[in-house]
Amino acid sequence: MSLEPGLKALLQIPEFQLSRPPPGVPAAELRAAALPLPPFPMDEVHEVRDLQIPVRGATIAGRLYRPSDRPHLPLIVFFHGGGFVFCGLDTHESVCRTLAARSGCAVVSVDYRLAPEHPFPVPLEDCYHSTQWLVAHANDLRIDAGRVAVAGDSAGGNLATGVCRLARERRGARLRHQALIYPVTDAACDNASWRELGQGYMLSRDWMLWAWECYVPDPARRADPLASPLRATDFSDQPPASIVTADHDPLRDEAEAYAARLRDAGVAVTARRYLGVIHGFASLPFATQLADRALKDLAGDLRAALTA
């Protein structure tokens, strides 16, 4: 299917295309030069509150979105994308507001530490320990510790899968659902969608390989299922999943392969491929109406999973 016109126009902007940065440029400088999104209307929520969350060796920020003043709301812990190197609370404000408003659940966005300054497994451990801290402080936050899901887009989807796996291995908080928006699942970046779409559709293969070099500098560690969840041998006992993919996204096939592996292990999966869109489309409501549609669909899944 052809690209939606608004996304096609974005792809004509040279700065919108991600390519491998010049060698030696510090990550902080790259972040400062990142192309900002234009302002656009966002969903209203009852409360937005910044949090300080203790993790191993640091305190990181979080942001709580409450759709209502009701006590004991279910909780969605959200991990932002950005190739493990970019983005933060502000870049994913719209996504988190929409998920909170449309699901009726509280959402906490986690500002995990970024690579390359903090390589694997630091960002994943930040996400895991943030989730455990939020559950442990559920009464103070007026959320329900028994109704918790994780969610994330792109690299954040990768981190969400890792939190699910660690929660099982370490007997942590029981997670009811994982909501993955075009998740990164394999460091190889070598399949049909990468070969077809790895150049010219915003997310390039060269850029993604560079991001993996930042996140997991040691190539031998990139096969660890906590880094490349598609490489796992056991997919059983994982939470039910909702997985969003985009037909013009080079990550499409590895995300859909992850959905298939979960299904093969008996895990309930709802997978939706949206047509005419690119990687990152859920954060681009000014360019495509399917951004709102995908987040509404996902919020419906989370509402069903957490309010039953």
Task: Please state, in angstroms and rounded to a whole number, the distance separating the CA atoms of residues 295 and 251.
Answer: 18
- Residue 160 pLDDT: 98
pLDDT tens-place string over residues 154-168: 999 999 999 999 999
3-state secondary structure 62-131: EEEEECCCCCCEEEEEEECCCCCCCCCCHHHHHHHHHHHHHHCCEEEEECCCCCCCCCCCHHHHHHHHHH
75 bridge partner residues: 106, 148
| Catalytic residue selected from 126, 144, 249, 301 | 249
Where do we find the tokens 């990142």? 34
Q: Which CATH number covers residue 108?
A: 3.40.50.1820
Q: Which residues contact 304 (CB under 8 A, 6 or more apart)?
A: none
CB 103 within 8 A of CB 67: yes
**For 26-58, what is each residue's pLDDT tens digit?**
999 999 998 888 888 899 999 999 999 999 999
Q: What is the CA radius of gyration of the chain?
A: 18
Decide if 248 is catalytic: no
Supply the range of the domain harboring residue 190: 5-307
CB 298 within 8 A of CB 270: no
Beta strands 143-153; 106-110: pairing state: unpaired
Look at strands 106-110 and 58-66 and give their pairing.
antiparallel
The number of distinct structural domains making up the chain is 1
pLDDT (0 to 100) of residue 282: 98
Q: Going from the first residue of the chain to its last (308 residues), give the mean pLDDT of each consecutive group of 10, the final group possibly shorter.
A: 94 95 94 88 96 97 97 97 98 97 98 98 98 98 98 98 98 97 98 98 98 98 98 96 98 98 98 98 97 98 94
pLDDT for residue 57: 93
127-130 contacts: CB < 8 A, separation 24 or more? 127/77, 127/79, 127/159, 127/160, 127/162, 127/163, 128/162, 128/163, 128/166, 128/167, 128/170, 128/172, 129/53, 129/54, 129/55, 129/56, 130/53, 130/55, 130/60, 130/62, 130/77
Catalytic residue list contains 279: yes
Count of helices and strands (H, E) across the chain: 10, 8
Q: Specify the pLDDT at position 295.
A: 98
Q: What is the pLDDT of residue 36?
A: 85
pLDDT at res. 123 = 98
Catalytic residue, candidates 80, 92, 177, 279: 279
Single pTM value for the model = 0.98
Catalytic member of 130, 154, 193, 283: 154
What residues contact 222, with CB distance under 8 A and at least 6 apart?
187, 212, 216, 228
Distance from C-alpha of 42 to C-alpha of 301, rounded to nearest angstrom: 21
